[in-house]
Amino acid sequence: MDSRNSWRTFLTHVGIATAVFAAANVATYWTSGYFEHEREYFAKVNGLYDRPHVRSVFAGDSHVQQLQNELLAPDAYNIAFGGDSLREVYAKLRYVLARPNEIDTLFLTADPHMFGTGRLQSSNRAFVDRYLLWTRSPYGLPKGWPSAALDAVPLFNDDFVQYLKKRLAGALKRDGVRAAEDEDPASWGKLAESERIAIARSTGEMDHVGIGEHLEPFVWLARIAALAEAHHVRVIAIQYPAHPSYLESISEQAAATVRAEFASVGIREVLDFRGVITDPRFFVDPDHLDREGAIALLRLIDARTGQQLLARGIQPAPTSLTAASPAVH
């Protein structure tokens, strides 16, 4: 009898502990900004399936994210998210190509900062573990699938600190995880040019550390290129507009290294729009376009590629400027 009571007591305690643990996980999931971010992340990718005939996909980080899906034609979709590295691009692309699709073109970021030190670790890395698990990827899970699976349990997820660091860095330099609509579109244009130069230079110096010094981003680039080739997807790489002072910290050697790596994996269509849109009224900060800037860029991409990526009926605001002709190669 005593033995049975002991077991009953033990099992009761286990049940209570399990219930408390489950409740704590549920509470964490629904109250933490990290998991709110995760839900937004998955919703962005899943939104592609609301457009059943998508042929063109944009991928990259927050520079690409500014081309909001509301601006895109029905057969185009943007899966980019602030803070993504090329590993995240690979994982999401692998996921969408593994499902029934009509995708034939990938517009991939070619911005040099994607190959710098700051993109070695992404705050979104645990999110895309799910995509790598679902598609049985042979790459991207260095600790194995058990560890990746445990990250799905909120209190076992070890990426909170990394996420918070990225959020803090983003708040300090207006990068990564915020969307353009959270900013006053006119604030950047109202600054004195001397202030814009100082901010752009400081931001660029942070973003462009270590370009070309790390193998990992180039490995992921090669995997993206191979994945696209296996699915007969054309890759068009794009370098996005930014303030000249933001770009000046990219050495010619670093830029040449990036160009050579794209060519080495068979991606030879690289459209350089970095200096095409320069008026501050097209930007929310040194390296992110506002809505009107995104419209202007999409018009330029359409003209260069012969595609209709900008949704029909989208018109620039009456006060919008006309972007210069692209100096692309």
What is the structure's pLDDT at 271? 97
What is the structure's pLDDT at 38? 81
What is the structure's pLDDT at 8? 66
Helix (H) or strand (E) segment spanning residue 126:
helix 125-134
N-to-C CA span, the chain: 84
Q: Assess whether pLDDT exceeds 70 at residue 124.
A: yes
| pLDDT tier, 111 (very low <50, low <70, confident <90, very high otherwise) | very high
Span 32-61, pLDDT tens digits? 556 667 889 999 999 999 998 999 999 999
The upper half-sphere exposure of residue 283, i.e. CA atoms within 13 Å in the direction of its Cβ, equals: 26
303 CB burial (10 A radius; 0-12, 13-18, 19+): exposed
Q: Assess whether pLDDT exceeds 50 at residue 175.
A: no
Contact 3, 86 (CB under 8 A): no
For 135: left if phi > 0, alpha if psi spans -120 to 50, otherwise beta; the answer is alpha
* CATH class in words for 32-305: alpha beta
What is the structure's pLDDT at 229? 98
Q: How far is CA 216 from CA 1, 220, 296, in A?
A: 62, 6, 33
What is the structure's pLDDT at 123? 79
What is the structure's pLDDT at 178? 42
| pLDDT tier, 218 (very low <50, low <70, confident <90, very high otherwise) | very high
| pLDDT tier, 187 (very low <50, low <70, confident <90, very high otherwise) | confident
What is the structure's pLDDT at 22? 54
Span 156-174, pLDDT tens digits? 555 655 555 666 666 655 4
Which residues neighbour 274 within 8 Å (Cβ) at sequence distance 6 or greater? 239, 240, 241, 242, 247
What is the structure's pLDDT at 315? 77
Span 244-269, pLDDT tens digits? 999 999 999 999 999 999 999 999 99
Domain residue ranges in the chain: 1-31, 32-305
What is the structure's pLDDT at 37? 72
| pLDDT tier, 179 (very low <50, low <70, confident <90, very high otherwise) | very low
Nearest-CA neighbor of 62 among 246, 228, 289, 282? 289
What is the structure's pLDDT at 286? 96
Which of 90-99, 232-241, 242-251, 315-324 is predicted least confidently?
A: 315-324
High-pLDDT (> 70) share of the chain, %: 71
Q: Assess whether pLDDT exceeds 50 at residue 176.
A: no
What is the structure's pLDDT at 15? 62
- Rounded average pLDDT over 13-26: 56
- Rounded average pLDDT over 274-297: 94
| pLDDT tier, 329 (very low <50, low <70, confident <90, very high otherwise) | very low
What is the structure's pLDDT at 317? 63
Number of other residues whose CB lies within 10 A of the CB of residue 161: 9
The residue whose two tokens read 């290129």 is: 225
